Amino acid sequence: MNDRVLAQFATGPAYEEMVAVTHNKHAAFAAKYNADFITVREAKSATWQRGRPRNINFRKLEIMVEMVEKYQKVLYLDADTVSVRDDFDIFAAAGYGIAFCAVWENQRIVPTHINAGICLINSSPEVKEFLHEWNKSSGGETYKGVDTWHDQAIMNRMMEDRKWRDLLTILPNRFNWCADTQEARDPFIRAFHGKARRIEQIRGLCK
């Protein structure tokens, strides 16, 4: 087993199709940089709230908690993302704690926030504590009036606390390029968060 892992999560036909399309590209990237590659396919969350499974969006937090117990560095990619370049070791950008990209532009579409679709983790006791606290959240939270961000809304609120913000690295948008909200030159990772016809665009990048 390597000390680093690229992990993805898919639930349902649409997301399973996405990770199937990107599988070979991501497996090759992981192999080049001596990382394991793990795709989790499950239909429900492993943890429960009030006698029923949590919203499936929280499964990725459970995966992160599991991965940092086994690996030093974890690169988590949402199913609708594609690593489009292999000439840079993305794991090298892990920094001290936990790294995300942020949306600063186009407030007409979404308010400024940290995007959790791509997460780069360098494991430590403090980072493990943060992930456990993030994972303990029950869901239903909002952030800046947006009530559909689930785990992402919780993380944004947590990062307003200095205790957790000291672990935060904001990466350039090259690590999470998304049309209209997170565009950047020469991206390492392309993302299609919530975009229509995204499977067609993902297929185009994986030819």
**Beta carbons within 10 angstroms of residue 206's beta carbon:** 17
Q: In this structure, what token pair is assigned to residue 190?
A: 């392309």
Q: Are 103 and 143 in contact (CB under 8 A)?
A: no
Question: Torsion-angle region of residue 165: left (phi > 0), alpha (psi -120 to 50) or beta?
Answer: alpha
Q: Is the pTM of this model over 0.85?
A: yes
Query: From the centroid of its chain, how far is CA 206?
Result: 19
> What's the pLDDT score for residue 143?
54
| pLDDT tens sequence across 109-147 | 566 789 999 999 999 999 999 999 898 876 655 555 555
CA distances (Å), 48 to each of 14, 95, 136, 138, in order? 24, 33, 10, 9
Q: What angle do CA 160, 161, 164 make, to 5 degrees?
A: 105
Q: To which residue do tokens 């992160």 refer?
A: 64
> What's the pLDDT score for residue 46?
67
| pLDDT tens sequence across 9-66 | 998 899 999 999 999 999 999 999 999 999 998 766 666 666 677 777 788 899 999 9
Q: In this structure, what token pair is assigned to residue 131?
A: 């992930």
The DSSP secondary-structure symbol of 178 reads B
Handedness of CA 78, 80, 86, 90 (dihedral sign): negative
